[in-house]
Amino acid sequence: MFDGVEEIWLDGEFVDFEDAQIHVLTHALHYGTGVFEGVRCYDTDRGPAIFRWEEHLDRLYSSAEVYDIDIPYTKAELDEATRELIDRENLDSGYIRPIAFYGYGPLGLNPQQSPVQVALAVWPWGAYLGDEALEEGVDVAVSSWRKYSSSQIPTNAKTTGTYVNSVLASLEAKGNGYEEAIVLNKEGNVAEGPGENLFLVRDGELYTTGLAESILDGITRRTVIELAEEMGYTVHDDATISRGELYTADELFFSGTAAEITPIRTVDDNEIGTGTKGPVTDEIQQRFFEVVEEGQPEAWFTPV
């Protein structure tokens, strides 16, 4: 994955890839006290551009605020450093990982005496679940692990430590021969995938779980909602979806920065629709890739 990556931006400096190191007593390593984003740069018709970068930066800083992580750089500074890093790595397209975390300091649950460190990495990355998955869809299973509630841990923050929940669901699914998982919330209704939001198609209308269902407010999710409505679809973006509704859906698909628009062909070995990418999913997926190829609308893209 990282073959050919030469530099990382770490705490205000560009350092060689192999020198981008932190102390083993880093607070975030022990307690998961970090926040991050996953962002894509696309090779558009107007040149390399970062997709919905401003929204990703806004969410990074909002996530940091939840944990009293005072990021010691402005959004403008991170923007400039990211675009320079992409240029230094000679990337036309790829994946961007900004991360801010409590670093080496006194160990203990209170991190406030630990310094805040920030890193940026970029690397080439294709389809998260594979090129074939974008066309043929993926086989998924409902996980036995539940998504945590916002009354336990803030679900609106993209936090390093909370992703152990996603790791467990993903390990379980892959260990049982599936490509991905669907995670239910504490009430037993659908939340999302381990790293994706979920859309259900029924009678030509789209349904996606609402923010109160213990989901992350996905930026690709927002994009799908906007594009689908522009295309004339009715979108129910505050839906409660039961587990049983998954099995009777006309179509299902994941959305996410990494997954982009990935069809779901089976859930728990139950075929969804015809067991292939459905027509609504196909149309929305095509429109999404048109947008990132054209680099339009301009407001969604930050030129490198």
pLDDT in tens, 70-120: 999 999 999 999 999 999 999 999 999 999 999 999 999 999 999 999 999
Reported confidence tier of residue 168, pLDDT bands at 50, 70, 90? very high
* Token pair 């930026």 in the structure block, residue: 219
SS3 245: helix
Locus of tokens 């996980």? 143
Q: Say if residues 212 and 196 touch (Cβ distance below 8 Å).
A: no
Say if 267 falls within a structural domain: yes
Determine which one of 75, 147, 158, 277 is catalytic.
158
Model pLDDT, residue 61: 98
Q: Say what the pLDDT of residue 127 is.
A: 76
Q: Look at residues 39, 14, 130 and name the one whose alpha carbon lies nearest to residue 93.
A: 39
Say what the pLDDT of residue 130 is: 78
Q: How confident is the model at residue 41 (pLDDT cuts 50, 70, 90)?
A: very high
**Domain check: are 268 and 137 in the same one?**
yes
Q: What is the pLDDT of residue 1?
A: 83
Task: Provide the mean pLDDT of the chain.
Answer: 97
Structural domain count of the chain: 2
Residue pair 225/288 in contact by the 8 Å Cβ criterion: no
Residue 128 above 80 pLDDT?
Answer: no
Query: pLDDT digit string (tens) for 183-219?
Result: 999 999 999 999 999 999 999 999 999 999 999 999 9
Structural domain harbouring 276 = 131-294
Say whether both 183 and 62 belong to one domain.
Answer: no
Asked if 231 and 287 touch (Cβ cutoff 8 Å), the reply is yes
Residues 276 and 145 grouped into a single domain = yes
Q: Is the pTM of this model over 0.85?
A: yes
Distance of CA 258 to the CA centre of its chain: 6
CATH number of 233's domain? 3.20.10.10
Is 251 among the domain residues?
yes
- Asked if residue 2 is part of any domain, the answer here is no
218-240: b (≥16 Cβ within 10 Å) or e: bbbbebbbebbeeeebebbbebe
Is position 158 annotated as part of the catalytic site?
A: yes
Nearest Cα residue to 206 out of 244, 242, 181, 238: 238
Residues 267-281 pLDDT 10s? 999 999 999 999 999
Length of the chain as a residue count: 304
Does residue 26 sit within a domain? yes
- Do 196 and 286 lie in one domain? The reply is yes
- Residue whose token pair is 């969604």: 300
23 pLDDT band, cuts 50/70/90, is very high
- Determine what percent of the chain is predicted with pLDDT higher than 70: 100
What pLDDT is attached to residue 299? 96
CATH number at residue 53: 3.30.470.10
Whether residues 93 and 140 fall in one domain: no
Q: How far is the C-alpha of 13 from the C-alpha of 298, rounded, in Å?
A: 30
Q: Tell me if 300 is assigned to some domain.
A: no
